[in-house]
Structure 1
Amino acid sequence: MAVVKVDLAGRSYDVHIGSGLTGNFAEECGSLLRKPRVPIITDSNVHSHWREPIALALEAAGKQAAWLVHEPGESAKSWDGLSRTVEWLLSEEVERGDHIVALGGGVIGDLTGFAASMLKRGCGFIQVPTSLLAQVDSSVGGKTAINVPAGKNLVGAFHQPSLVLADTDVLATLPEREMRCGYAEVIKYGILGDVAFFDWCEANGPRVIAHDREAIEYAVTQSVKAKARIVAEDERETSGARALLNLGHTFGHALEAETGYSDRLLHGEAVALGMVLAARYSARRGYLSEDEAQRISSAISASGLATEIASLGLDCSGQALANHMLHDKKMDAGTLPFILLRGIGKAFFDREVALDYVAAFLTEQLQAH
């Protein structure tokens, strides 16, 4: 097992990565579980696979699981989902010193973390991410949010977990499409800041997606280490360092909005395509060589992820996609900084990007085959 510390002033916490953590759930959580009854928030898919192992692990420690089960998908990350969660936690008499367990992917982690940030002005929570995407990205760093009609993750809070348990065994039940989505966030760390890790991803990406245990543990550990360094430097995205983690997200969120935040385009798929677009746009601006942009596209394509907007079959213009970007959280004084590339492993902010130029670029991409 690997342990990565997220080192924040006075609020550091550990990320445990390895096999068998779920079976030792109560032991791993230790004194964080103060009461005999442990509130766990999950979705019906995860509940069907992991209810019994978690319940047995708690029973062995003299504790009982209390379950709130949401329907799977982004619909849970809503005002209704948040209200349901908070009301249930109040009915469970959760106190400020207690810890709520978020057992699931990024949706459950975001929802539970936001509820924990609000409940009685803030109580603790434990992240138990069950998707590759959540293990390498959303479970670490304290970003919590829900979606609203105006856009994705626009209402939320920074609220750090007290512990993250990334059990690589739980990924065995993950469909290949979900593994690919998580892999998009893995290779992102190489593209934005670590060319050596990008090299490793080029060689080993198929092993990760094929559930190779050794490759998964290495990929998760390296990704979490990278994120922990950035979060420690810029916890609340004030210096700009942490915002580099949004590489591919400006383009990707626009595509998610156009597809209605649906299963038509999952978040990891949108990020992967967004990174390809960011690389191509960087090459268009003269920051990145065409060869490097193609190398990024090829590495992502080799993992089975789409690299062409045309594959989505959208009936919209480049301007319509650019308009979605006006709701981006990075908007500042009416301008939108873009995360672009000066090379593989060299992401940076470009604060002088005209959205009409982006719209023209996206129109070209929509027509490309």
Structure 2
Amino acid sequence: MAGSISGCPADRRVWVATGADSLQVEGAVALVHSLFSSSRDVGCLSVRVHTEPDLVDRIQPALNHAATSAAANGTSRADGLDVLAVGISPDEVPLARGRPPQVVFNFLRFYLGDLLPEADKVLWTDADTLVQRDVGELYHSSLVDDGDTGIAAVPRGPAFSLSKLLPPQLYSRLAASVPTFDDVQMFNAGVSLLNTQYWRKLQLRQEAEGLIGLLRSANAATFRGMSTVESSQLPLNLLFRQRRVEPIDDTWNVSFFEWPPTLMDVLLMRRTKDHWAVLREAALIHWNGEVNKKPWLVVETDIAMADTHRMTKLRQMQELWCPHYPPCLSTSPPPPSLAKQWPCPLVCRAHLDKDQPPLTRSSFVSVPASFLPLLMLVVLVLMAVRPLVRLGRVLMVVTPLKGGRRRAAAPTE
């Protein structure tokens, strides 16, 4: 299954890479199935799943089955597919020596230029993603004949700048430690197209190693609110703080977990686009966030304790992710020996009706029921504070006027 691709012109080849430790391998298998099921030319896909060395023999048969079962359902041929599990040790990712496996595969993206020397550009996508559109569209339309751009990624909104995301003390340490530091409008590194030719030419991997060493010495490599042991988002964004980042349409990195509505959204019943519709139309869905929110890691208590909002998200997981996990498919089940090693996850087997409303939600902003008491408290506090603020403003105006009259009258006494 691995090696060169016969019959695919070199300029049509699509390189895709991901990394998965023992907690992410199920996600990687579903990702591979989604890549091949959505591709219009599976014969030109070259997929590399980097993982722990002792997991390679277990993962490779599952990747083979995922790719062939997906391709066989399409119009393209299903033989000779190029999908390979690659064992990566910490020695091959010097930045991660002596650190947990998650750090190895989080920092792996900085080494793609060395790991895939035959590729001029590589699409990196986290293992907790699912592809719903042909990645060849993105691959061949981005970083085209542009030797001066090292990365293409989905930009984040105005709220995602370093000065707004980082605690003030950490931001100050960065400003004092990083040369030519400036506030950075961040992009999401979970899905990014890397110009590996550019990285090799400018030795960006070496520069990234120096930058991460600087962040660690300044105690700025991790901060509250992160979902990973050590951030790769921060150094990658800083690496391109004075370099061009080609923007990618945000449909290529849609978070499964929508941002909670603001207080004004709720009070004004502000209309927003239904997130379920956004997910169904997305080119790529990203289960970024806490580890226990991944579809393959859902446990019985997650279902038993789910409120209406959470139950809806679990049902959306079931509808979106499960059709791409081969052990759960009746149309192309894995052989018995493979099925024993890769059981169907609970979220794909559970009956999630529970008399809940249908998946399609109202176009109005909704709030989880557990948030309502807190929301009502905030509203009451604001209602109580507003008259006091107005009274304070009146007193600030009246008091100087009274004092002024006394001072003016004193000379005539």
Give the alignment's TM-score, normalised by structure 1: 0.29
**Which of the pair has more CA radius of gyration?**
2
More strand by share: 1
Give the alignment's TM-score, normalised by structure 2: 0.27
